[in-house]
């Protein structure tokens, strides 16, 4: 699989509803995982919130989204999302990561995540938020 670049939207307690709405708009296949599924809820009230949703449309669009944890700031209209880079080519994706982190603020180091992939988040020196996910080799 080639590396992909796509939007990743943030929500406060409404990711499930929003992503189901986008599925109605664009069609396609929607998958969603909760914070509870990955034992990643910092607050018990978050266990059923969406940690990751992905909509793949028949026209080739990919839209991702999640609920922002309660411990993180969220102001609707100001931190609506990030740009997601994902794929299997570790050297390529780490190369992008290394360049994006120059003069940037790393909010999540690029390291092994609970779902098995390597994942990191960074806000570049221009204020753009990026997420990098390197797919773990499949058995």
Interstrand relation of 129-134 and 62-67 (parallel, antiparallel or unpaired): unpaired
Model pLDDT for residues 99-121, shown as the tens digit of each residue: 999 999 999 999 999 999 999 99
In this prediction, residue 2 has a pLDDT band, given cuts at 50, 70 and 90, of confident
- Model pTM score: 0.71
> 3-class SS at 83?
strand
Query: From CA 101, how far away is CA 121, in angstroms rounded?
Result: 9
Q: Which burial class, exposed, middle or buried, applies to 35 when counting CB atoms under 10 A from its CB (0-12, 13-18, 19+)? A: buried
Pick the CATH number of 4-134 from 3.10.300.10, 3.90.1150.10, 1.10.287.70, 3.10.180.10: 3.10.180.10
Model pLDDT for residues 26-82, shown as the tens digit of each residue: 899 999 999 999 888 888 889 999 999 999 998 888 999 999 988 888 777 676 778
Percent with pLDDT over 90 in the chain:
53
DSSP secondary structure, 31-62, as one string:
EEEETGGGT--SSGGGTTSEEEEEEE-TTS-E
In this prediction, residue 1 has a pLDDT band, given cuts at 50, 70 and 90, of low
For 71, other C-beta atoms within 10 Å of its C-beta total 8
Q: Which burial class, exposed, middle or buried, applies to 84 when counting CB atoms under 10 A from its CB (0-12, 13-18, 19+)? A: buried
Q: Which burial class, exposed, middle or buried, applies to 136 when counting CB atoms under 10 A from its CB (0-12, 13-18, 19+)? A: middle
The pLDDT of residue 49 is: 96
The pLDDT of residue 60 is: 85
Residue 36: φ, ψ to 5°: -65, -35
Mean pLDDT of the chain: 89
The pLDDT of residue 118 is: 97
């Amino acid at each position: 699989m080639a590396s992909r670049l796509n939007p990743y939207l943030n929500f406060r307690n409404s990711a499930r509803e929003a992503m189901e709405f986008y599925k109605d708009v664009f069609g396609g296949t929607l998958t969603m995982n909760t914070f509870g599924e990955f034992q990643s809820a910092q607050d018990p009230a978050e266990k059923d919130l969406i940690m990751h949703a992905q909509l793949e449309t028949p026209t080739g669009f990919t839209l991702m989204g999640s609920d922002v944890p309660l411990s993180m700031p969220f102001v609707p209209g100001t931190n609506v999302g990030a740009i997601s880079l994902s794929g299997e080519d570790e050297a390529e994706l780490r190369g992008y990561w290394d360049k994006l982190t120059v003069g940037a603020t790393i909010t999540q180091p690029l390291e092994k995540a609970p779902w098995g992939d390597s994942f990191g988040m960074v806000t570049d020196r221009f204020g753009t938020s990026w997420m990098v996910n390197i797919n773990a080799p499949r058995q």
